[in-house]
Structure 1
């Protein structure tokens, strides 16, 4: 089994919480050690234990060194690991750029293992390094699709292009429309059902990550534009060109 297989199991577990977890999202968790599933669980009911805790409680052996697959973004480093929880340091930079500052004790967060470069990339590259936040200003169903319109700042919009890519709360999505200060994505039913988009409503803040390739290209072009050339018309004439 590979990463995708374990995530599929976690998604199936998450569905068991359907109708019981609102306003929290449905979440499933699978713990894998040396290629074996040693624990699994899901968020069974609002106000009760999280999927991660239930999975750890169900472990058939010590989970130290294991990997947890959870259906729930900023990229953070684990600094302490306990039997039912872990600790990650969060700097002011992360709080300023992401929606983490809006979290309250007991709230759910998305968790995802960093992907190995040797694995299959099913979408665009998502690093988990948040560029900023946006606000959902419009949600509309369109036949079997759901449109989400996100308002955000110019620094992010400069990397937003139609048919390009963006990550919303860690979900890799294609940009369907782009205006001056907002963009829209059209999500298929599977994406809505299997991610936290199913729990989002108008007015919610979301984490945004622009396409890393676009950011590198933008940086490269800015260097070229800001570099003064010493090759002038006079220089060329002087040397016979």
Structure 2
């Protein structure tokens, strides 16, 4: 579990295809400083597993992770090239402050930066929103973009806007991604659990609530 507060702007060292998967190597001295074999590190919002020993990773300041076909299909990791910057975050510790919101590191879809509107001290960025995710995104709600916990300013049917403060512009990939750039999106997991508990699914989410508790239970059993 992560918080969406980027700890370090890392750099892609290599991305090597291996059949229907790939092996990704990333440089990041901070996130590897206490890494161990099997540790989780979020790369652009995707939870990946360190495969080398902690001593190896810490000494090199780099770590390697295997990326499966499902991850390549549903994220922008497959588009990475050596030298590309990536947002890195280690898992949160129980009892620590939750600076962003609860982030799983499981990407729900990929959006595209549509426009950037500069302000005096910030920028407003509009991102496209896959239709299957639009019902989960609300004004002033939380969303994760490339692993960054952000607050939605305005939610439309097919896009949303976020405001980026100077720190976010300076220390994350969103400071340099222009129109046309792909970004990983993870919606608030609480919204997904709420939908499931109410007995709704993608087809029924837009329908009004009706029927008995038995009907809702029946949906859960047959889903």
* TM-score, scaled relative to structure 1: 0.64
What residue is the counterpart of 2:80 in the other structure?
103
Q: Work out whether 1:198 is the aligned partner of 2:175.
A: yes
Select 1:75's aligned residue among 27, 30, 47. Answer: 47
Query: What whole-Å deviation, never above 9, does each CA across 1:33-90 have from its counterpart, x for those lacking one?
Result: xxxxxxxxxxxxxxxxx8536998xx9xxx7759999997200112224342332121
Report if the CA contact (8 A) 1:52-1:70 is conserved.
no
What residue is the counterpart of 1:140 in the other structure?
117
SS in 2 for 1:75: strand
- TM alignment of 1:86-125, pairs within 5 A: 86-125=63-102
What residue is the counterpart of 2:193 in the other structure?
216
What residue is the counterpart of 1:151 in the other structure?
128
Gaps of 5+ in 1: 1-6, 11-25, 29-49, 233-241
- TM alignment of 1:1-241, pairs within 5 A: 7=7, 27=10, 52=28, 65=36, 73-81=45-53, 82=56, 83-84=59-60, 85-223=62-200, 229=212
SS in 1 for 2:180: coil
Are the structure 2 counterparts of residues 180 and 68 from structure 1 closer, same or farther at C-alpha, using a change threshold of 3 Å? Answer: closer
Are the structure 2 counterparts of residues 138 and 78 from structure 1 closer, same or farther at C-alpha, using a change threshold of 3 Å? Answer: same
Count of residues in Structure 1 that have an aligned counterpart in Structure 2: 183
In structure 2, how many angstroms separate the alpha carbons of the residues matched to 1:199 and 1:76?
Answer: 23
Greater per-residue helix proportion:
1
The answer to which of 188-197 and 140-149 deviates more is 188-197
Structure of greater relative contact order (alpha carbons < 8 Å, 6+ residues apart): 2
Greater per-residue strand proportion:
2
Query: What whole-Å deviation, never above 9, does each CA across 1:81-128 have from its counterpart, x for those lacking one?
Result: 434233212111111111011112343332211111221101211121
Query: What whole-Å deviation, never above 9, does each CA across 1:174-231 have from its counterpart, x for those lacking one?
Result: 0000111000011222222222211111110001110111111122223597997487
Q: Radius of gyration: which is bigger?
A: 1
Report if the CA contact (8 A) 1:168-1:206 is conserved.
yes
Shift of 1:158: 1.6
